[in-house]
Amino acid sequence: MSQTIVIDPVTRIEGHSRITIQLDDRGEVVDAHFHVTQFRGFERITQGRPVHEMPALMARICGICPVSHLIASAKAVDDIMAVEPTPTGADLRRIINLGQIVQSNALSFFHLSSPDLLFGFDGDPAVRNIIGVARKHPELARDGIGLRRWGQQIIEWLGGKRIHPEGIVPGGVAFQLTAEVRDRILAGVPEAIAAVERAIAWYKTDMLRWEEEAATFGNFRSAFMGLVDRHGNVDHYGGWLRVVDADGHHLADKVDPKTFNDYIGEAVEPWSYLKSTYWKPMGYPDGLYRVGPLARLNVAERTGTPRADEELEKFRWRVGRIASSSFHYHYARLIDTLHAIEKIDLLLRGPEILSHHVRSVAGINRHEGIGVSEAPRGTLMHHYKVDDNGLVEWVNLVIATGHNNMAMNRAVLQVARKHVKADRLEEGMLNRVEAVIRCYDPCLSCSTHALGQMALRVQLLAPDGTVLSELAR
Amino acid sequence: MTMAAMGGVLVVGYGNELRSDDGIGPAVVAHLAHDRRFRDVDVRAAHQLTPELALDASGAALLVLVDAATDAPAGEVAVRRLDPGEAAGDVLTHHVDPAGLVGLARELWGAAPPVVIVSVGVASLDVGDRLSPAVEAAIPRAADAVALAIEEHRRA
């Protein structure tokens, strides 16, 4: 008789979800789904609000990556106001965004994923957590805590608050940077670099243990998308969208992010609140692509900073020019973090960084605006429409986790087929299925807002799994 | 370096200010910020206890935590010392409990301060940004309890 295995909730991710694995009569995995079971609804909640409130409201979407939403939202309002932030304002936004990248990547790698890497997927669940890491590898735990703290301090010092900061506003930023704060951040750079380089060194040694896992951990051919600068290097704040295929060929390059609707479609499945985005030219579901740290490294020529580029070269030597296994998100996340630290250092040493010209001022000059940036988990898009008075009429949020939705489902199915055997279910099997989701570091609080498109299905099942009744809306 | 990291007293009031009385911890530390008795104390508000606090906790001579209690009458202020041998509870993704916090400090930096927990009984944890009257009225008593804990620590 066929049966379903349910992993509920999926742990050590941002938000609430479950995984179902469908087995056939022989106990073989035939299908698997990653269900996002929480709902937030910001796209509807914000209708009717003055558009200048949007950045502060959007920051409330998430306690982990509020800065990402602030940046994309402020850029969308810049677009509506037809205004360019001042150069200093733009650079300060970049620094806060990079602080966000550092602290969120540190949370993902050190706090959430390193327990699996340190203790193994078959390890005792009681110790697979940050306290277990502290006991077995204290330096790794200290480095993770230190990196996260440094990133959070940058957000707090530049944005006003550690969580839900308000320093990023339409037209630029609210606060001028002082020399004292600049120097305080710069003083932390050497230790931050040392910490992430220690983690990279450890990971490169440790990853040899995981070669077999990497081969089947969401390892499939797909496209990748991310922002790049005019040199084709990683850009977390602006630039152009680039999409490459599984062989590295450009499917699209120098795409103005404001035209993303021409290229990206959104689909809704009946078993999840999370929308699935797809590359329109290839249709749904063939237009699967991935975003986030792995995608950023795959689409870019280089990172553009020396230490990270050195590590990127080694990364490509180990895993190829286009890394296809989702397992390599971990490695990519560390290099992404190293690049972010170096970039913060560079920006803080800019000649105009202490300028008091941090904000441009304008009114409502357009009825529509789009803002795009790179969040820790991938490319983030905010799209607003307003009336003549600047009141919000329509909002669409395209979130990194939505871009990765199809890829996460494919990865779950691949891992389940490899590891789940119905005749002998073990903790390690199911942990691997969870862990492949953690590679993408999904943020479900960020990504579930499409009221009106939401999919809800209630099924009444007989003991043998037969569907007796079903209601859908 | 913070005052707490230099061997001072660290007071952390934590809770969700958008969940009515769960915001009592941040409300108490906001009160302390204007109280001269606490001018040489490192006072902070937090949404929850995070692993990052372990670094500052490891350098502190005393850690006072102010939190909401769901198992006490509304407005009742209670004080207890954390048993150094108390095991950490569930270790979740972004936060730790008091025992987990000092456990991390001890494991990673080789030092953990004594911990005093000042808790205030709550009436409501519904969505809302205001404290219920009984809980709001407890703020000065909770502040006095924090002050007493610090005074006793310094006398000892």
Q: Which chain B residues are within 8 Å of A130, Cβ to Cβ?
A: 51, 91, 96, 104
pLDDT (tens digit per residue) in A380-438: 999 999 999 999 999 998 888 889 989 988 988 888 888 877 666 677 777 787 788 88
* Cα–Cα dist A353/B17, whole Å: 35
Distance from CA of B110 to the nearest CA of A (A): 11
Q: Is any Cβ of chain A less than 8 angstroms from the Cβ of B93?
A: yes
Residue A447's pLDDT is what? 53
Judged by CB atoms closer than 8 Å, whether chains meet at B104 and A146 is answered as: no
Tell how far CA B2 is from the center of its chain.
Answer: 17
Residue A254's pLDDT is what? 96
Q: Is any Cβ of chain B less than 8 angstroms from the Cβ of A270?
A: no
Residue A465's pLDDT is what? 56
Task: Give the residues of chain B that fall short of pLDDT 50.
Answer: 1, 92
> Please, which residues 144-183 of chain A have a Cβ atom closer than 8 Å to chain B?
144-146, 148-149, 152, 163
* Cα–Cα dist A111/A9, whole Å: 18
Query: In terms of C-beta density within 10 A (0-12 exposed, 13-18 middle, 19 or more buried), how is residue B83 classed?
Result: exposed
CB B91 within 8 A of CB B54: no
Residue A115 pLDDT > 50? yes
Which of B93, B96, B103 shows the shortest C-beta gap to A112?
B93
Chain A's closest residue to B50, CA to CA, is A145
Chain B's closest residue to A152, CA to CA, is B52
Q: Is any Cβ of chain A less than 8 angstroms from the Cβ of B53?
A: no
Judged by CB atoms closer than 8 Å, whether chains meet at A131 and B47 is answered as: no
Q: Is the dihedral of CA A446, A76, A59, A156 positive or negative?
A: positive
Among A17, A130, A147, A437, the strongest candidate for a mutation testing the B interface, having the largest count of B CBs within 10 A, is: A130
Average pLDDT over residues A194-208: 93
Chain A's closest residue to B97, CA to CA, is A131
Distance from CA of A437 to the nearest CA of B (A): 15
CB A403 within 8 A of CB A95: no
Query: pLDDT-based confidence at A469, cuts 50/70/90?
Result: very low
Which of B47, B55, B103 shows the shortest C-beta gap to A131?
B103
Q: In whole angstroms, how far apart are CA B85 and each of A186, A304, B97, B103?
A: 39, 50, 14, 9
Which of B47, B94, B108 shows the shortest C-beta gap to A134?
B108
**Host H or E run for residue A382:** strand A378-386
Residue in this structure with the two tokens 């050190």, named with its chain if needed? A110
pLDDT (tens digit per residue) in A345-376: 999 999 999 999 999 988 999 999 999 999 99
Judged by CB atoms closer than 8 Å, whether chains meet at B47 and A11 is answered as: no
Q: Which chain B residues are within 8 Å of A9, Cβ to Cβ?
A: none
Task: Specify the DSSP class assigned to residue A14.
Answer: B
Q: Is any Cβ of chain B less than 8 angstroms from the Cβ of A137?
A: no
Residue in this structure with the two tokens 């009717």, named with its chain if needed? A48
Judged by CB atoms closer than 8 Å, whether chains meet at A146 and B55 is answered as: yes
Q: What is the SS3 assignment for B20?
A: helix
Q: Which chain B residues are within 8 Å of A141, Cβ to Cβ?
A: 104, 107-108
Which of A13, A107, A129 shows the shortest C-beta gap to B91?
A129
Average pLDDT over residues A434-447: 76
Average pLDDT over residues A126-130: 81
Query: pLDDT-based confidence at A13, cuts 50/70/90?
Result: low
The rounded percent of chain A whose pLDDT value lies above 70 is: 88
| Whether the model pTM is above 0.90 | no
Q: Which chain B residues are within 8 Å of A138, Cβ to Cβ?
A: 107-108
Distance from CA of B19 to the nearest CA of A (A): 14
Instruction: State the count of interchain CB pairs (< 8 A) between A and B.
Output: 50
Q: Is any Cβ of chain A less than 8 angstroms from the Cβ of B103?
A: yes
Q: Is any Cβ of chain A less than 8 angstroms from the Cβ of B109?
A: yes
Q: Is any Cβ of chain A less than 8 angstroms from the Cβ of B104?
A: yes
Judged by CB atoms closer than 8 Å, whether chains meet at A152 and B52 is answered as: yes
Chain B's closest residue to A63, CA to CA, is B47
* Cα–Cα dist B78/A47, whole Å: 44
Which of B52, B100, B109 shows the shortest C-beta gap to A131?
B100
pLDDT (tens digit per residue) in A41-74: 788 889 999 999 999 888 888 777 889 999 999 9
Long-range Cβ pairs for the range A47-51 (8 Å, 24+):
A47/A392, A47/A393, A47/A394, A47/A395, A48/A391, A48/A392, A49/A391, A49/A392, A50/A389, A50/A390, A50/A391, A50/A392, A51/A77, A51/A80, A51/A364, A51/A384, A51/A386, A51/A390, A51/A391, A51/A392
Residue B47's pLDDT is what? 87
> Which tokens hold the place of A328?
């390599």
Q: What is the mean pLDDT of chain A?
A: 87
Distance from CA of B52 to the nearest CA of A (A): 5
| CA proximity to A399, closest of A68, A137, A116, A103 | A68
Judged by CB atoms closer than 8 Å, whether chains meet at B107 and A152 is answered as: no
Average pLDDT over residues A37-42: 71
Task: Specify the DSSP class assigned to residue A28.
Answer: -
Judged by CB atoms closer than 8 Å, whether chains meet at A64 and B52 is answered as: no
Q: Which chain A residues are within 8 Å of B55, Cβ to Cβ?
A: 145-146, 149
